[in-house]
Amino acid sequence: MTRSALFTRLDYDPHQGQLRLHESDARFKVLIAGARFGKSLASSHDVLRDLLSREVRGWFVGPTLALAEPEYDYLVQHARGRLGLEASREDYSARAHRGLTFANGSEVHCLSALQPQSLLGREIDWLVLCEAAHIARDAYERFLRGRLVSREGRLIVATTPRGHNWIEELYQRGLQACDAWNSFRYATWDNPRVLPAEIEEARRTLPGPIFDEQFGGAFTGASGRVYPEFEPARHVLACDPPAGAVSLRGIDFGFTQPFACVWLCVDHDGRISVFDEYFRSGATVLDHAREIVRRDEALAARGVLRGASFADPAARAEREALAQCGVPNGPAENALLPGISRVRQALLPRADGRPGLVVHPRCVNLIREFEGYIYEELTRAGEPLPVKGDDHALDALRYGVMGLCSRADWRKFGVLW
């Protein structure tokens, strides 16, 4: 049965965010979302198909038994009710385990991660970690991950975030270009069935970081995100430029640290699309230039015009070397806080609700940095400063955006589309 036929039969009509989870074939899926987004409903439906297709064993594991029960109940209710699967055996032990074996031999179990040793011993085909941000890292790494090995089982991690804990690392893994892992992050309001008035009430009455975490699905913590406006569900969008667009580049140099170049363009409305990135360490300026020129030529073949490049003004020798290798460039405006502020402004929604800056999904490093870039807790001269390090693609973007905004150079870019 196809996925959509199954969902129709179950009378399940996933909303856009849930659909993206279901459409992913990644073996490891990380779904981070605000309360009531529909995480439990989505993860139980995602594994239901496995249960029908062959004889499988799957686990819902929560920080306590009660916290895995919604997923388990959804699945069992649907399998028995709408799909008419007979149960041949039911297990129940008050605090630690519920389980059901269906007539086709498939098994589903609901377990608590509180006694992880009790999870050893069985091999499983799928695992759903329910409210995973409240499960100890050790329970996953020592006791649960290994259960998936012999059957190459799949994993769904579904949770509202909880500070910058180990779940954020799993989430980041799914943002990298790797087919096995895929990450999704949504807010409560991405579930169209949640009433906006409920969200507004919570926004008014909860402390900001708690609201951002519990409803916004954001990884917040003592040290705040530099770009809290960045929401993958809103800002990550396939946005290749049409013929006639002018592409600009922002460039940040590095050798042991990565060298980063981002390509961006702006539409007639002043909306910015960041549509490509190049991110590499340990290579020479000549290597970088060759790759940049190669991509520019591919763009030119599609009718995209080459505009200016803005590079780190502090790296004068590297800029000159890059220019000699065929990538002419100018010094970027490098004031950090004004640059951050400009990028934040661009990220904000416009009158029509769409943001002023979007990033193509292929820019995996830029997306990862947007999510992980945080302020140091210490401040210098009263001004918060971001933690240095994972900011190369972001610096390149900042140079590009500042270049774009420098009106003096505006005419040089020619006519934008």
Residues that bind ligand ATP (CB under 6 A): 13-15, 18, 33, 35-41, 70, 160, 191, 193
- Identify what 134 binds: Mg ion, ligand ATP, none; CB under 5 to 8 Å per kind: none
CA distances from 121 to 23, 146, 150, 350 (A): 31, 10, 12, 54
Place of tokens 């904000």: 348
In the 8-state DSSP scheme, what is residue 175? T
The Cα 62–Cα 109 span in angstroms is 11
x/- letters, 1..40, toward Mg ion (CB under 5 A): --------------------------------------xx
- Identify what 36 binds: Mg ion, ligand ATP, none; CB under 5 to 8 Å per kind: ligand ATP
191 binds Mg ion (CB under 5 A): no
| CB closer to Mg ion, 66 vs 314 | 66
In whole angstroms, the minimum distance from the beta carbon of 95 to Mg ion comes to 20
Biggest distance spanned by C-alpha atoms of the chain: 76
In whole angstroms, the minimum distance from the beta carbon of 66 to ligand ATP comes to 11
| CB closer to ligand ATP, 74 vs 259 | 74
Angle formed by the axes of helices 392-405 and 364-372, nearest 10°? 100
The Cα 247–Cα 94 span in angstroms is 62
In whole angstroms, the minimum distance from the beta carbon of 12 to ligand ATP comes to 6
In whole angstroms, the minimum distance from the beta carbon of 32 to Mg ion comes to 13
* Contacts (CB under 5 A) with Mg ion, residues 96-125: none
In whole angstroms, the minimum distance from the beta carbon of 70 to Mg ion comes to 5
Residue nearest to ligand ATP (CB): 38
| CB closer to ligand ATP, 182 vs 191 | 191
In whole angstroms, the minimum distance from the beta carbon of 16 to ligand ATP comes to 10
| CB closer to ligand ATP, 39 vs 147 | 39
- Identify what 15 binds: ligand ATP, Mg ion, none; CB under 5 to 8 Å per kind: ligand ATP
- Applying CB under 5 A, the site for Mg ion has a residue count of 2
Angle formed by the axes of helices 166-173 and 364-372, nearest 10°? 160
| CB closer to Mg ion, 39 vs 360 | 39
- Identify what 193 binds: ligand ATP, Mg ion, none; CB under 5 to 8 Å per kind: ligand ATP
Place of tokens 């906006």: 196
| CB closer to ligand ATP, 148 vs 158 | 158
Q: Which residues pair with 158 in a beta bridge?
A: 31, 130
Computed on alpha carbons and rounded to an integer, the radius of gyration of the chain in Å comes to: 24
CB neighbours (10 Å) of residue 115? 13
As a three-state string, the secondary structure of 53-71 is HCCCEEEEEECCHHHHHHH
- Identify what 35 binds: ligand ATP, Mg ion, none; CB under 5 to 8 Å per kind: ligand ATP
Strands of 281-404 (E only): list them.
305-311, 330-331, 357-359, 375-380, 383-386
The Cα 127–Cα 138 span in angstroms is 16
Angle formed by the axes of helices 16-23 and 39-53, nearest 10°? 30
In whole angstroms, the minimum distance from the beta carbon of 40 to Mg ion comes to 3
Contact between residue 261 and residue 250 where contact means Cβ atoms under 8 Å apart: yes
Q: Three-state SS for 31?
A: strand
Contact between residue 56 and residue 102 where contact means Cβ atoms under 8 Å apart: no
| CB closer to Mg ion, 69 vs 409 | 69
| CB closer to Mg ion, 64 vs 334 | 64
Residue among 172, 190, 318 at smallest CA distance from 259: 318
In whole angstroms, the minimum distance from the beta carbon of 155 to Mg ion comes to 17
- Name the residues that contact Mg ion, by CB under 5 A: 39-40
